Amino acid sequence: MQSTQMQALSGKELEYIADSISNEDLLIKQLAATAGTTQNSTVHQICVQQIQSHSHHMSTLIQLLQQHQQYAPTQPQ
C-alpha cells in the first residue's frame, strides 16, 4: 500500500476496473431480461432493486476512472 494521495492507475488496476464494468454490465442486462420476461411480481421487484444497485456500481467504477484520468502519463514510463 502506498500513500493516500491520488496517483496514476497501474495497468493491472485499469484492467480490473474494465473487467468489473463488464461484469456489472452483464448483471444489469441479465436482470433486465429476467424482469422483462417474468410473470412473477416478486421476481420483477427483486430484479429492479438489483439493477439499481448494479447501475450504481457501474457509475462508481466510471467515476474511479475519471478521477485518475489527470494522473495518467501520456507516454509509457
The C-alpha R_g of the chain, in whole angstroms, comes to 17
Q: Which three cell numbers stand for residue 21?
A: 464494468
Residue 26 interacts with another protein (CB under 8 A): yes or no: yes
Residue of 53, 59, 73, 77 that binds another protein (CB under 8 A): 53
Q: Which three cell numbers stand for residue 51?
A: 439493477
Residue 73 interacts with another protein (CB under 8 A): yes or no: no
CA proximity to 6, closest of 64, 61, 56: 64
Residue 50 interacts with another protein (CB under 8 A): yes or no: yes
Contact, 40 vs 70, CB < 8 A?
no
Q: Which residues bind another protein (CB under 8 A)?
A: 1-4, 6-7, 9-10, 12-13, 16-17, 19-20, 23-24, 26-27, 30-31, 33-44, 46, 50, 53-54, 57, 60-61, 64, 67-68
